[in-house]
């Protein structure tokens, strides 16, 4: 079975006290560098929270899951709360098998994550 084509590159939308990083489609080797860049843009001193929106992601590579763990460490140093909007089971499974899942708080939507 052939995999779907990669999604759009991840984006980081900055707001005064938070940022939203959106991942659509597949977060694989083709776009993981852009994912790192979006995370770096989002994780800034003064932000209270960064929401990682995986709501429409279909695939998450193990490399990207490891990047999330590093981002969590960096966020802790900056005092930024890193929150995940959960998506498909395939994405959550990668977070489970890499050990990243228990490090994060999960929300059903971006709006819920922003209100937390």
Q: What is the mean pLDDT of residues 53-57?
A: 94
Return the pLDDT at 3. Answer: 45
Residue 17 lies in a domain: no
Residue 44 lies in a domain: yes
Structural domains of the chain, count: 1
Two tokens, residue 3: 């995999």
The alpha-carbon radius of gyration of the chain (Å, integer) is: 13
Residue 34 lies in a domain: yes
Q: In this model, does residue 2 exceed pLDDT 60? A: no
Host domain of residue 37: 25-115
Q: In this model, does residue 57 exceed pLDDT 80? A: yes
Q: How confident is the model at residue 13 (pLDDT cuts 50, 70, 90)?
A: confident
CATH of the domain at 47: 3.30.750.24
Residue 7 lies in a domain: no
Residue 41 lies in a domain: yes
Assign 3-state DSSP to the chain and report helix, strand, coil percentages, each to 5: 40, 30, 30
Residue 5 lies in a domain: no
Q: What is the mean pLDDT of residues 71-98?
A: 94
Higher pLDDT, 112 or 86: 112
Q: How confident is the model at residue 5 (pLDDT cuts 50, 70, 90)?
A: low
Average pLDDT, the chain: 90
Residue 55 lies in a domain: yes
Q: Angle, nearest 10°, between helix axes 62-78 and 32-42?
A: 10
Residue 81 lies in a domain: yes
């Amino acid at each position: 079975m052939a995999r779907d084509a990669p999604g759009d590159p991840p984006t980081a939308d900055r707001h005064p006290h938070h940022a939203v990083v959106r991942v659509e489609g597949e977060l694989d080797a083709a776009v993981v560098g852009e994912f790192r860049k979006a995370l770096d843009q989002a994780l800034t001193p003064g932000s209270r929270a960064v929401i990682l929106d995986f709501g429409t992601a279909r695939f998450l590579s193990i490399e990207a899951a490891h990047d999330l763990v590093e981002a969590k460490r960096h966020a802790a140093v900056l005092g930024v709360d890193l929150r995940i909007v959960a998506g498909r089971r395939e994405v959550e499974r990668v977070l489970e098998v890499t050990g990243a899942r228990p490090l994060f708080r999960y929300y059903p939507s971006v709006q819920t994550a922003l209100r937390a």
